[in-house]
Structure 1
Amino acid sequence: MNDTIRSFPVGTQVDIAPDGTIFRHPDRPEPRRNLRAAVHHFRELLKDKEDTSHVFKIFESLPSSRFVPMARKFTLSREGQRVRESEPYLPTILDDHAALRRYHAGTVAHAYCDFMEQEGLTAAGLVEEGERAWPDRPKYGDLIEWYAWRRRDTHDLLHVLTGYGRDALGEQCVLAFTYGQNGGFANLFIAYLAAINTRRGVKTSAPVLRAVRQAHKLGAGAPCLAEMPILQLLKMPLDEARALMKVGDPTEYRRCHAIWRERGIDPYDLLAKGMATA
């Protein structure tokens, strides 16, 4: 793996934070849209939803026009600087369950630990998936990189806050919710295409597309999780944090689960059933 790139041509004009960190390294390439590549990786993702390296590839193929402006506004602000000083790298914080368990029962921290332990997940594991997607990608050490990492590292925390599980529909809803927060066509691309695949593969009256659409709308009123002080959020009672995040009530998602279970269908095995049928 290449070391972090820090040098750049003398005289290059760059935005720099007070601590000397540049916003965008001059060697960072401009993102380019590649719909064909996105479709290829989506098909591969359907074969194995646990191979999240394809998710990273889809996001690379469908870059968001809102990402850089949002990153610039936050990382160069005073609040962004405070957050970066107190939370330089989230996986280290999120994977220290012993420390998180010291917070009161009923807090976001406890709910997060319960979720991650039940699912057998770690924040570091998601980082490894990204590294597997781009094993030779250089690190630029700029604020864009730090901001992108926070978007990545708060994904599982968003599951906890929204109430959407890690079943196929839950992942689709989280991505749709994320689009409402942050934009990014890749979020909708995966969410709606996967929802269509689910509906076609498991033919019931479950309102799959309505569940995704509801998540899309709920996210539109929510603040950007990556821009919030996560340490403070972890200490909050879960209900209070959900109210702060304006996550709303995922009624259509729960309705889908209820209909599937009435039919003897396990919501957490939908993707496999859907692909077998489709």
Structure 2
Amino acid sequence: MKIDHDFTAPSDSQTPFVHPERPAARFRPLKALHHFRELIKDKEDTEQVFHIFECLPRPSFRKDAKAFVESDAGKALLANEPALQHILDDHDRLRQMPEGSLAHAYCDFMEKEGLSAAGLIAEYDQFSPRKYNDLIEWYGFRQRDTHDLLHILTGYGRDALGEQCVLAFTYGQNPALGNLFIAYAGGLNMKMQVKSKAPVFKAIRQAQKMGKACPRISEESIIDLLAQPLDELRERLHIKTPHFYHQAHEQYRAEDVDPYAMLVQPA
């Protein structure tokens, strides 16, 4: 299905890979720890996540981004999917895709949770209003905008452990240290909050391994992925049932703990 766009993204030969005014990434672990402490006070405070990513950048990000945007696949996606917001938020068009597809599961999830791609972008814009309109920005935004798709593909929910697992999966795909830090520090915080036999770290580690085995979702055609049957897509992408995540939920409930409560507080 063709998706029409009423917006554009950098796509001509004059667009720089890195804007000359873009600051160099800086590694600041202590500042990342401060922002993590703010995040555990309110897991919905997404801005803290962006701060952590900024403080713990992916060492190979620019090299990997350059290799992709200069590839034939990257050039094709830049032309056909210049931005993802209007694709992901056009639920009327997504509902025209086949029943049982990723598109329908994505719409169900986003509507149930009251989420939108535009909402995530708005939160990011509050954190970083400056736009550089370079190719590295386009590459990075695809990783940002596919976060909620990963929840659907992996089967991890929006509970505390589910979010840690999605970040661990993301680290397996795109090894930014911020993903790994939040995933394991979040798991440690959960273990400190509630004494439980739930296999928290096994679930996080399993997610990390699945992310590494899966092709990079942000480098796939999102329109093509959305149209495919979800079960077949998971098999093709080597995404298996997250057994340890489900075992953790079962253990929490056996201990009268609500896994969907804030930071897994006792029910």
The interval holding the TM-score normalised by the smaller chain is over 0.9
Q: 1:129 to 1:91 in 2, by over 3 A?
A: same
Structure 2 residue aligned with 1:209: 201
- Mapped to 1, the partners of 2:204 and 2:66 lie a distance apart of 29
Structure 2 residue aligned with 1:228: 220
Deviation at 1:33, TM superposition (A): 0.8
Q: Which runs of 5+ in 1 are unaligned?
A: 1-15
Structure 2 residue aligned with 1:65: 59
Contact 2:194/2:264 (8 A) holds in 1 = no
Q: Aligned letter for 2:94?
A: L
Structure 2 residue aligned with 1:48: 42
- Mapped to 1, the partners of 2:139 and 2:212 lie a distance apart of 20
TM-score, normalising length: structure 2? 0.93
2:94 to 85, 93, 100: 100
Q: In the TM superposition, what are the counterparts of 1:91-130 in structure 2 within 5 Å?
A: 91-130=85-124
Q: In the TM superposition, what are the counterparts of 1:160-179 in structure 2 within 5 Å?
A: 160-179=152-171
Deviation at 1:270, TM superposition (A): 4.4
CA displacement 1:206-237 (0-9 Å, x = unmatched): 00011101111111111111000000000000
Quote the RMSD (CA, aligned, Å): 1.4
- Mapped to 1, the partners of 2:79 and 2:193 lie a distance apart of 47
* Count of aligned residue pairs for this structure pair: 257
CA displacement 1:45-98 (0-9 Å, x = unmatched): 000000100000000011111211111111111111111111111011000001
- Does residue 198 (structure 1) correspond to residue 186 (structure 2)? The answer is no
- Mapped to 2, the partners of 1:46 and 1:128 lie a distance apart of 21
Q: Aligned letter for 1:209?
A: F
- Mapped to 1, the partners of 2:40 and 2:89 lie a distance apart of 28
Q: Aligned letter for 1:73?
A: A
Structure 2 residue aligned with 1:13: none
Deviation at 1:17, TM superposition (A): 7.0
Deviation at 1:272, TM superposition (A): 5.9
